[in-house]
Every structure is written in C-alpha cells, then in structure tokens.
Amino acid sequence: MNPAILALLGFIVWTLVLGLWLVSIRSLKVLMGKNKSNEFPAGIKHGTEFYWRLNRAHTNCLENLPLFAALVLTGAFAGILDSTFALVCEIVLGARILQSITHISSGSEMAVNVRFTGFVVQYGSFLCLLWQILRKTGTI
C-alpha cells in the first residue's frame, strides 16, 4: 500500500484512539455514578484539565482529518502519489501525533509552542500537498 494512504490510515487510527479514550473516560464516570450521561456538554469546558486537553486534541484531529483525507484521496485519484507526496503525508501524521501528545500532556507555554509548531507543520504540509496536486495535474 502506498505510504500516503498508510499515513491517512494512521491519522484515522490516531483520531479513533483519542475518541475511544474519551468515550472510556466518560463511560467510566457514568458507570461509577460520578457523572450523568448528559453532563458532558459540547464546546463547554468541563472535567479535569487533562480530560479537557484530551477532548480538544480529539477535536483538533476531527477538524483536520477531512482536509488531509481530501488531499490524499485527490492525489490518489489523480495518480500522483509519488515518493515526495508520500513523505509529506508522513510528515503530516508525525506532526499531528506530536501536536496531540503535547496537547494532552501539558498546557505550559513550552507545550503550547510545540503544539503550534505541529499545527504549522501540518498546514504547511497541506499547502505543499495542494501545490503538488495542482502542479502535477497541470492546473497551474
């Protein structure tokens, strides 16, 4: 399987891992009687700092997965999944995992700087993938 597709699958798996981690925490809290099932409001800070950072890391994955998937699938359909395209996809996955782990682990200034770096690398990589698609398909 092409490394670009594997990187996309890795991004999907990572998003699922974070989501299942959240579901596990919520389920345990409900089953142990610490929270009711309707006490996890969307978009409103709740729970411990760790829980909220995990929640945000998962949301960040969900926000970026469609962009990454669209770029990789467009590249695949256009037949341009060469080694450069694949390398950039692998960079996206690595930056996403770094951003998520840093987000979950700390809210310190240094952690925020590392998270932001991961974000910038991902978006720079998205632009690089888009450029490759446009250039190799003769669009520009």
The whole-angstrom distance between residue 17's C-alpha and the CA centroid of its chain comes to: 11
Taking 80 as the threshold, does the pLDDT of residue 6 lie above it? yes
Which residue's entry shows tokens 């037949």? 79
What pLDDT digit, counting tens, does each position of 77-122 carry? 999 999 999 999 999 999 999 999 999 999 999 999 999 999 999 9
Q: Which residue has the higher pLDDT, 134 or 139?
A: 134
- Give me the number of domains the chain comprises: 1
Q: Based on the number of CB atoms within 10 Å of its own CB, is 17 exposed (0-12), middle (13-18) or buried (19 or more)? A: middle
Range of the domain at 20: 3-137
pLDDT at 93: 98
Q: CA-based angle 25:31:32, to the nearest 5?
A: 90
pLDDT at 96: 98
pLDDT at 119: 96
The CATH number assigned to the domain holding 96 equals 1.20.120.550
**Would you give the DSSP letter of residue 37?**
T
Taking 90 as the threshold, does the pLDDT of residue 16 lie above it? yes
pLDDT at 81: 94
Structure tokens at 121: 């690398």
Q: Based on the number of CB atoms within 10 Å of its own CB, is 99 exposed (0-12), middle (13-18) or buried (19 or more)? A: buried
pTM of structure? 0.91
What pLDDT digit, counting tens, does each position of 22-68 carry? 999 988 888 888 878 787 777 778 788 999 999 999 999 999 999 99
